[in-house]
Amino acid sequence: MSQAPKVKKPPQFPATDLLIIGGGLAGMALFLGIKKNHPRLKIKLIEKESQLGGNHTWCFHDSDLPPRVKQWLQGYFSKTWNSYEVRFPSLQRNFKSPYHALRSFEMQSRLLSEFPEDILTNTAMKSWRCLSPENPSLLGYEIKTEAEKLLRSHGLIDCRGWINQYPSEKVAFQKFVGLDLKLKKPHGLTSVILKDAACPQIDGYRFFYTLPWSETEILIEDTYYSNHSILKEDRIEQEILKYAQTQGFEVESILRREKGCLPLFLYPQEHIGELPELGAKSNTFNPVTGYTSPQTFQMIDQILSLSALDPASIQRCLVQQQKAFEPQAKFLRFLNRMLFNACRPDKRFKILQKFYTLPEPSIQRFYSGQINFLDKVRLLSGKPPVPVFKALMELTDKFASNNSKKSVPDLNL
Ligand SMILES: Cc1cc2nc3c(=O)[nH]c(=O)nc-3n(C[C@H](O)[C@H](O)[C@H](O)COP(=O)(O)OP(=O)(O)OC[C@H]3O[C@@H](n4cnc5c(N)ncnc54)[C@H](O)[C@@H]3O)c2cc1C
């Protein structure tokens, strides 16, 4: 009996071209950017929670946005203000530049209604494997979800957010509690109060941040640049309500609560991601602000301008961007060490007060992580608000790291 000829198995083509893991700021923005600019690409976004985006108000300066990203993203902004101001004990300054906000609950409902088939919530990636490790140019992945479902994709991008385990002696924190408040009467504000540091400086550099959503709705956050991550939410909530009162705002009710504790790197972090990474997961963010949006938007802009959106090109592009940001990150980590190691907690505001006297373009480049040589000179010139010897001790990543000691804990009233 002659044997039936062996049938060559058809290759199993991946179901999607690109699978984005994690529907936070980075995952949603990348997903949207690809949908708007490469509508023929088959992509999917998976998110482990029942909703995308968590509970966040993401804000950024207009100068943090690459112009091409602004074109497709601005229709999704919750609000744009045309100016903002900063208040310090010896400085008050207005800036006539736009400031934007994206609210996660608004972004998620827009995306879910526009692209319901391509977004899977309640879908957590449990494990992944490369289907052809011996031939990486083919790539192709299979991922297993926590519900034991298998998904296949030609490429993966890991947007799973913060890693959460940073050695405590190598990071400081920007931590905050925010309340969306309904007021009894109009507040009368027309612009954002980005920092109001004319307040008691407890637990490090401390300021209030105010976003007026409408005539009678407002977000107020109480923020601390602290050496530790403890956040006494009840106490801080009371502080916010007290601050509202001092500003003449009569609070009718609390509409929403938000909190965060962002790591601010003082030293380089060991991190080797196996998948292409974007957002907080990639550790590519401004070490002084803990904000990821400027670098995330810049990296998405570079991805979208690739001539071919294949997984290998995307991975190369992301790695290149991460490396290109490292010299900026190194300088910003040095500024963090000046702030957290060389300066007394109750005097930290003086460094920021001096910073806000700089020319506006330098301030914008600082936020977007694009500081130039002249900006560095400006940032370091003049009488330093920290002892010179202590500042010198913090000069290089390596020297300071060898001498790193736990700073005296801040007051935590
Ligand atoms: C309250 C708050 C406010 C902030 N405000 C600003 C701001 O105004 N401007 C700014 O630039 N930065 C801000 N940040 C800092 C930073 O930009 C945010 O943390 C931002 O959300 C980071 O985006 P991301 O997409 O990298 O991570 P996340 O937004 O944390 O998204 C990661 C997502 O991945 C999901 N996920 C995790 N594991 C899996 C898995 N196994 N499978 C599937 N999904 C998974 C998570 O559920 C989450 O939704 C803020 C941070 C906080 C906490």
Q: What percent of the chain has pLDDT over 70?
A: 87
Q: Tens of pLDDT along 330-387?
A: 999 999 999 998 888 889 999 999 999 999 999 999 999 999 999 998 888 876 666 6
Ligand 1 pocket check for 46: Cβ under 6 Å: yes
Q: What percent of the chain has pLDDT over 90?
A: 73
Residue with CA at minimum distance from ligand 1 atom 37: 160
Q: Tens of pLDDT along 86-97?
A: 999 999 999 999
Looking at residue 136, what DSSP letter applies?
A: T
- Check whether 413 has a pLDDT greater than 70: no
Looking at the structure, tell me whether residues 177 and 257 fall in a common domain: yes
Tell whether 87 is covered by a domain. Answer: no
Give 400 or 297, the one with higher predicted confidence.
Answer: 297
Residue with CA at minimum distance from ligand 1 atom 13: 291
- Check whether 3 has a pLDDT greater than 90: no
Looking at the structure, tell me whether residues 178 and 261 fall in a common domain: yes
Structure-token pair, residue 228: 């530790």
- Give the pLDDT band of residue 398 (cuts 50, 70, 90): low
Q: Which atom of ligand 1 is nearest to 54's Cα?
A: 49
Looking at the structure, tell me whether residues 233 and 346 fall in a common domain: no
Tell whether 148 is covered by a domain. Answer: yes
- Give the pLDDT band of residue 243 (cuts 50, 70, 90): very high
Residue type, 210: T
Looking at the structure, tell me whether residues 160 and 221 fall in a common domain: no
Ligand 1 pocket check for 14: Cβ under 6 Å: no
Looking at the structure, tell me whether residues 26 and 50 fall in a common domain: yes
Tell whether 92 is covered by a domain. Answer: no
Q: Which residues pair with 92 in a beta bridge?
A: 87
Cα of 27 vs centre of ligand 1, distance in Å, is 9
Residue with CA at minimum distance from ligand 1 atom 3: 56
Residue with CA at minimum distance from ligand 1 atom 23: 25
Looking at the structure, tell me whether residues 319 and 365 fall in a common domain: no
Give 158 or 407, the one with higher predicted confidence.
Answer: 158
Average pLDDT, the chain: 89
Residue with CA at minimum distance from ligand 1 atom 6: 58
Residue type, 338: M
Ligand 1 pocket check for 300: Cβ under 6 Å: no
- Check whether 408 has a pLDDT greater than 50: no
- Give the pLDDT band of residue 406 (cuts 50, 70, 90): very low
Domain count, the chain: 3
- Check whether 67 has a pLDDT greater than 60: yes
Ligand 1 pocket check for 240: Cβ under 6 Å: no
Cα of 385 vs centre of ligand 1, distance in Å, is 34
Q: Tens of pLDDT along 106-157?
A: 999 999 999 999 999 999 999 999 887 666 556 688 899 988 889 999 899 9
* DSSP-derived 3-state class of residue 329: helix
* Cα(79)–Cα(214) distance, integer angstroms: 10
Ligand 1 pocket check for 48: Cβ under 6 Å: yes
Looking at the structure, tell me whether residues 31 and 122 fall in a common domain: yes
Domain of residue 20 covers: 16-80+99-164+273-325
The residue among 281, 302, 325 that closes a domain is: 325
Q: Which residues pair with 114 in a beta bridge?
A: none
Residue tagged 């991805």 (tokens): 303
Q: Tens of pLDDT along 183-239?
A: 999 999 999 999 999 999 988 999 999 999 999 999 999 999 999 999 999 999 999
- Give the pLDDT band of residue 163 (cuts 50, 70, 90): confident
Q: Which residues of 191-207 are buried (b: 16+ CB within 10 A; e: fewer)?
A: bbbbbbbbbebebbbbb
pLDDT average, residue stretch 307-314: 87
Give pLDDT, residue 392.
Answer: 60
For the entire predicted model, the pTM comes to: 0.91
Looking at the structure, tell me whether residues 257 and 283 fall in a common domain: no
- Give the pLDDT band of residue 389 (cuts 50, 70, 90): low
Looking at the structure, tell me whether residues 337 and 319 fall in a common domain: no
Give pLDDT, residue 409.
Answer: 43
Structure-token pair, residue 282: 């990639």
Specify whether the backbone of 404 is left (phi greater than 0), alpha (psi in -120 to 50) or beta.
beta
pLDDT average, residue stretch 380-403: 61
- Check whether 11 has a pLDDT greater than 50: no
Looking at the structure, tell me whether residues 125 and 242 fall in a common domain: no
Ligand 1 pocket check for 101: Cβ under 6 Å: no
Please give the backbone phi and psi of residue 90, each rounded to the nearest 5 degrees, phi first.
-120, 25
Q: Which residues contact 12 (CB under 8 A, 6 or more apart)?
A: 131, 152
